[in-house]
Each structure stands twice: as C-alpha cells, then as structure tokens.
Amino acid sequence: MSVLADAGLVAAKDLRIEARSRVTLAQVLPFGIIVLLLFAFALDPDRGRLAAVAPGLFWVAVMLAALLAIGRSFAIEQLHGARDGLRLSGIDGAAVFLGKAAAIAAQLAVLEVLLGLGVAALYGVDVTSVVVLVAAGMAATAGLAATGTLFGVLAAGLRLRETLLPLLLLPVITPVMLGATRAFESGLGGDPAEGWPWIALLGAFAGLYLAVGVLAFGSLWEDA
C-alpha cells in the first residue's frame, strides 16, 4: 500500500481511538483551561494585562497540552505491544510518522479552537484578522505535530519519558513559540500585515520538520 494510504490508515486508527476514549477532550482540554486559569491567577485580571499577553499565554497552554497529547499518542502503542504489531505489519516508518502527526495535529487543532474560545472569553481579546490567526494556527500546529511526533518516538518506551519529552521538545519549538505568538499578536489587536512574515517562518519550520520526520522517523521507530 502506498505511504499516504498507510498514513491515512494510521491516522484514522489514532483518531478513532481518541473518539472512543476521549482523552484529549476529557483530560487534555481541561488541563489547558486550568493552565489559562493559573496564568490569570498569576497575572491578576484586574491589572488589565491579560489581553496584552493573551497570545503568549495561549500558545504556552497549547504547548503544555501538546506534551500530553503526544505522550498519549505513543502510550497507546506501548500498551499490549501494539508498537511491535505495527512494526511487523510492514507499514513504512514514514507512513506511521505522517499518520501519527496528522492525528496529533487534528487533536491539537480542536484543542486550539476550544482554548482559543477560552482565551477570548477569559482574557477579553480583540480580533483584527481571523485569516492571520487561522494561517498562523495551522502552520504552528503542523510544526508542533511534526516535531512532537519525532521527539515523541525518541522518548516513547523510555522509563523517563514524561520528563524527557518536555526537555527534548520545548527548546526545539522555540521558533514556533516566537512565530505563533508574534503572528497572533498581529491578528489580535495588532497590524495583521506584520504577522505574515512570521507565518512564513512557521510554514518553513513545519515543512522542514515534516521532511525530516519522513526521512528519520522510520529508523527511530525501529530502534527500541
């Protein structure tokens, strides 16, 4: 079967499991909202700071939630040796990468929309360009999903996976954090035109790590 067809198979499988177990909705999303609340406690809503820092806080919440979603994506493979079954099936590593990344991206997208509504409601923001927000969101999510899947497999199956994944992933996605936040600032009460260069950066990052993933994931997936 072709790589894309196999990727679709893997993605569908992951999403079906999510639809049935609802871990992203029932656990990861509340976690994200709690993070937003924590920020509000820390920054005191009355001082009028929240709207200004909303883009940054939003993306920090998304990144922390992404860590959980990525961990979960690989945890289901560890249980009952599903990972071994998948390796034996002969599906190409690149297909597993694309499929898992796609499923993670889909879940993150849902999370972002809901968290975004949360931010809009809790922090009170001013939308100047939906297009910028959507474009930046998509590009950032693709980059997060690609790197998350790559580093997720590195950390998966290790005893220290919960602490290793953040340490590995978070520094790497610095450009995503910077780009997404700046783009969101421009789309939420700023000048939308300033957001586009950042969106281009996000797109380049996503493209690069999708390519890296297609090339490298297979060997990482096989080794332990």
Instruction: Kindly state the smallest distance separating residue 41's Cβ from other proteins, in Å.
Output: 25
57 and 36 Cβ atoms separated by less than 8 Å: yes
Residue 173, phi then psi, degrees to nearest 5? -90, 20
- Whole-angstrom Cα distance, residue 7 to residue 221? 15
Out of 25, 40, 92, 114, the only residue in the binding site for other proteins (CB under 8 A) is: 92
Q: What is the CA radius of gyration of the chain?
A: 18
Q: How many residues of this chain bind other proteins (CB under 8 A)?
A: 50
- Please report whether residue 219 would count as binding other proteins according to CB under 8 A: yes
The total of other beta-carbon atoms located within 10 Å of residue 175's CB is: 17
3-class secondary-structure state, position 147 = helix
**Of 44-73, which residues contact other proteins (CB under 8 A)?**
none
**Of 158-217, which residues contact other proteins (CB under 8 A)?**
158-160, 164, 167-168, 170-172, 174-175, 178-179, 182, 201, 204-205, 208, 212, 216
199 and 74 Cβ atoms separated by less than 8 Å: no
Interface map 118-157 toward other proteins (x if CB under 8 A): --------------------------------xx--x---
- Whole-angstrom Cα distance, residue 222 to residue 224? 6
The amino acid sitting at 48 is G
- Please report whether residue 21 would count as binding other proteins according to CB under 8 A: yes
- Size (the chain), residues: 224
Would you state the structure tokens that stand for residue 12, as one six-digit string? 């569908």
Complex with other proteins: residue 37 or 211, whichever CB lies closer: 211
Out of 4, 16, 37, 127, the only residue in the binding site for other proteins (CB under 8 A) is: 16
Q: Applying CB under 8 A, which residues contact other proteins?
A: 1, 6, 9, 13, 16-17, 20-21, 76, 79-82, 84-92, 150-151, 154, 158-160, 164, 167-168, 170-172, 174-175, 178-179, 182, 201, 204-205, 208, 212, 216, 219-220, 222-224
